[in-house]
Amino acid sequence: MADVKKINTALISVFHKDGLDEILKMLNADGVKFLSTGDTKSFIESLGYDCQAVEDLTGYPSILGGRVKTLHPKVFGGILNRRENEGDRQQIAQYEIPEIDLVIVDLYPFEATVASGASDEDIIEKIDIGGISLIRGAAKNYNDVVIVASKQQYSLLADILKESGANTTLSQRRMFAKEAFSVSSGYDSAIYNYFAGEDADDLRVPLNGQRAMRYGENPHQKGFFYGDFNAMFDQLHGKEISYNNLLDIDAATQLIAEFGAEPTFAILKHNNACGVATRSTILEAWVDALAGDPVSAFGGVLISNTEIDEAVAEEVNKIFFEVIIAPSYTEGALNILEQKKNRIILVQKQPAPRSRQFRSVLNGALVQDRDTATETPDMLTIVTKVAPTAEQITDMLFANKIVKQSKSNAIVLAKGGQLYASGIGQTSRVDALRQAIAKAKSFGFDLNGAVMASDAFFPFADCVEIAHEAGINAVIHPGGSIRDNDSVEYCDAHGMAMVTTGIRHFKH
């Protein structure tokens, strides 16, 4: 079987025509004949090239409102015939079927139509039939046919045409076939998910675009990211983003989304916050976020929900960190931050995704809705005789946002819109609290008047007792333990305020 094949006839039927003119010019210069339909045929002819209508080849017009255009043996026979199979050669000669060596086709924008909120009728009409059949047929016969299944492959085809003219190798055709099946499988998954809605019996997650990481969590592990990172971020500077960077970036964007437009700065390490502060200016927020744990901040991921200016950049630049994320930067700030060549500087263009979460487990996957519940003052139930002050409520809600995004078991101590310390990832809530208290004291924080947030209820009163002894006088937790009254009674006996939310925030 000859490896290099010449393109003599191309069938072209596309929705997206940008970038197509360069390809058509090179194909035409190599004597390639064109077949097409509708708007694409008109586009080809507008460039001055001859183009045969598919209707003239098949003897049938486009029918059923355009639903049937290319579904005909003279089209699919031309694509699927095996050039070196004598039986196929005899049949296409008998039925006067021309060989088609290149298929350039894309699919109706089904996902974009769904996202636009279109009617069910309009969405159904965007389920491509002819296009998907052309893609599968041409990809199946990659030994003889080139398939270009989306505009993302236009540049690759153009490069081949520039280098080799209208000739392709077997490895090139197989590569295009691989990309084509990626397009078709993703398209079918999107259609399935639309029809299944919330009642899907199977998990279909079409994620296009593989991005190889330097390695996985550790150097001996391979790592890859599937998705469109560039849709969420612009990377302005720095080294290649790693697997662990991405985990921290995801955690950072989820955390900062909790704080809305209030100027807030957060520092994360290993997916957990080690410094968070909300202030009237982002510079003040940075200073107080760093004060929460200047040791753990080393090598961390920084995120702001407000533009980084030169004054903030000057302060931030005093420590070593891996990544900084913000909605924008002033020119002066970038001049400072770019002084470290490996420092990753990201502009966040889209909010953190609020869709489902996926995790591989055993020989399958777990799927759940993201925890998008963020408590507000009207959601709190005061369960003690002493009611919290307005200031305490503000601090408790602040702390609760952080504990929600911390690994369980988690305890967060805060005061005045500043994270004092957290105990995270502990096997007991008592250990988490003791860790937080010890950490806060090691950085010189006075816990008198601070608040405590817990990601789950207190099964015993021991945490409340330890917190009170440290000077904490207000507590927020989900509630729901059969021994809730033990904690409430202790608070009442010692003048502490406690509120429950009714919402647990476990995070593993």
List residues with catalytic annotation.
Answer: 140, 270
**What DSSP element (H or E) covers 10?**
strand 9-13
What 3-state class would DSSP assign to 48?
Answer: coil
End-to-end Cα spacing for the chain: 55
Any bridge partners for residue 359, and if so which?
Answer: 366
**What DSSP element (H or E) covers 440?**
helix 429-442
HEC secondary structure over 359-376 = EEECCEEEEEECCCCCCC
A 10 A CB-CB count for 8 gives 15
| Residue entry with tokens 């008592």 | 430
CA–CA distance, 131 with 105 (Å, rounded to integer): 6
Rg (CA), the chain: 30
- C-alpha closest to that of 283 among 267, 300, 249, 306: 306
- State the number of CA atoms in the 13 A half-sphere of 264 facing the CB: 24
Query: ∠ at Cα 29 (28, 31), nearest 5°?
Result: 65
CA–CA distance, 139 with 187 (Å, rounded to integer): 15
CA–CA distance, 347 with 94 (Å, rounded to integer): 61
CA–CA distance, 432 with 415 (Å, rounded to integer): 18
Query: ∠ at Cα 416 (410, 419), nearest 5°?
Result: 30
What are the CB-based long-range contacts (under 8 Å, 24+) for 125-131? Answer: 127/191, 128/187, 129/67, 129/68, 129/71, 130/13, 130/68, 130/69, 130/70, 130/71, 131/13, 131/105, 131/106, 131/107
